[in-house]
Amino acid sequence: GAVVSQHPSWVICKSGTSVKIECRSLDFQATTMFWYRQFPKQSLMLMATSNEGSKATYEQGVEKDKFLINHASLTLSTLTVTSAHPEDSSFYICSARDRATYEQYFGPGTRLTVT
Amino acid sequence: ELKVEQNPLFLSMQEGKNYTIYCNYSTTSDRLYWYRQDPGKSLESLFVLLSNGAVKQEGRLMASLDTKARLSTLHITAAVHDLSATYFCALNQGGKLIFGQGTELSVKP
């Protein structure tokens, strides 16, 4: 149980284009999901908290117009990187908080490369 | 603001040896997590520690929590190559997880 999937697992896009990453909780409901970014050899940095049916809360320094988050259902949150630039290349990991147990479970991550 | 610091950041060990990774944090939290990350992969949950004095063991790894000292340790016993990975501690702050810098462990024969 407690499986979180992410799609795609890796993506390459050209500078200036947008890319959408999906995060799904497969066997539990998640009113809250979190989006993290991890650069090589660094720790995970929380970007934003996604709440079902409401606007996401962004951490300081994260551009909300660049990283669009939608959490339209209890099992799906999406992160759209708009007008991507090479410096947005990173490993993006989502986690979903089980509404019943309050525990967080991590997705397998999405590696984004912007050329 | 909660700050989480791990040390060491890099650890090269010989197989069969014991070592400890430390995780210090600045304010109280109701739970502390340890995760493992292999290169190119996401996080694998190892332990969650809820109360002072909590100790959990799985195989060659043992985690403990001292809430008074605001310190958690991850002890590695008789290391084997398969334990090579990066280990993170993380604490819950208002529902968010705040991560330490990570400890990159390399176990050499």
Q: How far apart are CA B45 and CA B56, in angstroms?
A: 13
Across the range B88-101, mean pLDDT stands at 93
B contacts of A45 (beta carbons < 8 Å): 99
- In contact, A9 and A102? CB cutoff 8 Å: no
Q: Which of A10, A106, A113 to mutate to test the interface with B (most CBs of B within 10 A)?
A: A106
Task: Give the one of A34, A42, A111 whose C-beta lies nearest to B96's C-beta.
Answer: A34
Kindly list the distances between the CA atom of residue A95 and the CA atoms of A48, B72, B84, B109, in Å, as whole numbers in the listed order: 11, 23, 24, 35
pLDDT (0 to 100) of residue A107: 97
A contacts of B45 (beta carbons < 8 Å): 105-106
pLDDT (0 to 100) of residue B29: 84
pLDDT (0 to 100) of residue B1: 82
pLDDT (0 to 100) of residue A26: 96
Give residues 51 to 110 of A whose Cβ lies within 8 Å of B.
Answer: 93, 95, 97, 103-109
pLDDT (0 to 100) of residue B51: 84
Task: Using alpha carbons only, give the angle B65, B67, B71 rounded to the nearest 5 degrees.
Answer: 60
Find the radius of gyration of the CA atoms of chain B: 13
- Read off the pLDDT of residues B2-32 as tens digits, 9 standing for 90 and up: 899 999 999 999 999 999 999 999 998 889 9
Q: How far apart are CA B107 and CA B81, in angstroms?
A: 5
- In contact, B22 and B7? CB cutoff 8 Å: yes
CB pairs under 8 A between A and B: 38
pLDDT (0 to 100) of residue B109: 86
- Read off the pLDDT of residues B37-56 as tens digits, 9 standing for 90 and up: 999 999 999 999 998 889 99
Q: How far apart are CA A46 and CA A28, in angstroms?
A: 22
Q: How far apart are CA B67 and CA B55, in angstroms?
A: 12
Residue B88, chain A, CB below 8 Å: the answer is: yes
A contacts of B40 (beta carbons < 8 Å): 111
pLDDT (0 to 100) of residue B30: 82
Task: Using alpha carbons only, give the angle A35, A16, A58 rounded to the nearest 5 degrees.
Answer: 25
pLDDT (0 to 100) of residue B11: 95
Half-sphere exposure of B84 (CA within 13 A, CB side): 12
User: Mean pLDDT, 10 residues at a time, over chain A (115 residues)?
Assistant: 94 97 96 96 95 92 95 94 97 96 94 98
pLDDT (0 to 100) of residue B66: 94
Q: Which of B9, B10, B96 to mutate to test the interface with A (most CBs of A within 10 A)?
A: B96
SS (H, E, C) chain A: CCCEEEECCEEEECCCCCEEEEEEECCCCEEEEEEEEECCCCCCEEEEEEECCCCCEECCCCCCCCEEEEEEECCEEEEEECCCCHHHCEEEEEEEEECCCCCEEECCCEEEEEC
